[in-house]
Amino acid sequence: MATWVLSECGLKPLPSLFPRPRTGAISCNKPSKVRFLNPNKGMVDLKSKKRSFFPCSGIKDRNWELRVSVPLRVGTIEGDEEGRERINGVNEKELPEFDPGAPPPFNLADIRAAIPKHCWVKDPWKSMSYVVRDVVVVLGLAAAAAYLNHWLVWPLYWAAQGTMFWGLFVLGHDCGHGSFSNNPKLNSVVGHLLHSSILVPYNGWRISHRTHHQNHGHVENDESWHPLPEKIYRSLDIATRILRFTVPFPMLAYPFYLWSRSPGKTGSHFHPDSDLFLPNERKDVITSTVCWIAMAALLVGLGFAMGPLQLLKLYLVPYWIFVMWLDLVTYLHHHGHEDKLPWYRGQEWSYLRGGLTTLDRDYGWINNIHHDIGTHVIHHLFPQIPHYNLIDATEAAKPVLGKYYREPKKSSPLPFHLIGDLIRSLKKDHFVSDTGEVIYYQTDPNISGSSTSI
Q: How far apart are CA 336 and CA 408, in angstroms?
A: 11
Q: Are 388 and 126 in contact (CB under 8 A)?
A: yes
Neighbours of 230 (CB within 10 A): 16
Neighbours of 160 (CB within 10 A): 18
Q: How far apart are CA 5 and CA 384, in angstroms?
A: 8
- DSSP code at position 218: B
Q: How far apart are CA 131 and CA 128, in angstroms?
A: 5
Q: Are 348 and 438 in contact (CB under 8 A)?
A: yes
**Domain boundary assignment for the chain:** 117-448
Q: Are 367 and 374 in contact (CB under 8 A)?
A: yes
Type of residue found at 424: R
- Give Cβ neighbours of residue 60 (< 8 Å, ≥ 6 apart): 113
Type of residue found at 49: K
What is the residue-level pLDDT of the chain in tens, covering all 454 positions? Answer: 444 444 444 444 444 444 434 333 333 333 444 444 444 444 444 444 444 433 343 433 433 333 333 333 333 333 344 443 443 344 445 556 889 999 999 999 999 999 999 999 999 999 999 999 999 999 999 999 999 999 999 999 999 999 999 999 999 999 999 999 999 999 999 999 999 999 999 999 999 999 999 999 999 999 988 899 999 999 998 888 888 899 999 999 999 999 998 888 889 999 999 989 999 999 999 999 999 999 999 999 999 999 999 999 999 999 999 999 999 999 999 999 988 899 999 999 999 999 999 999 999 999 999 999 999 999 999 999 999 999 999 999 999 999 999 999 999 999 999 999 999 999 999 999 999 999 999 999 888 654 333 3
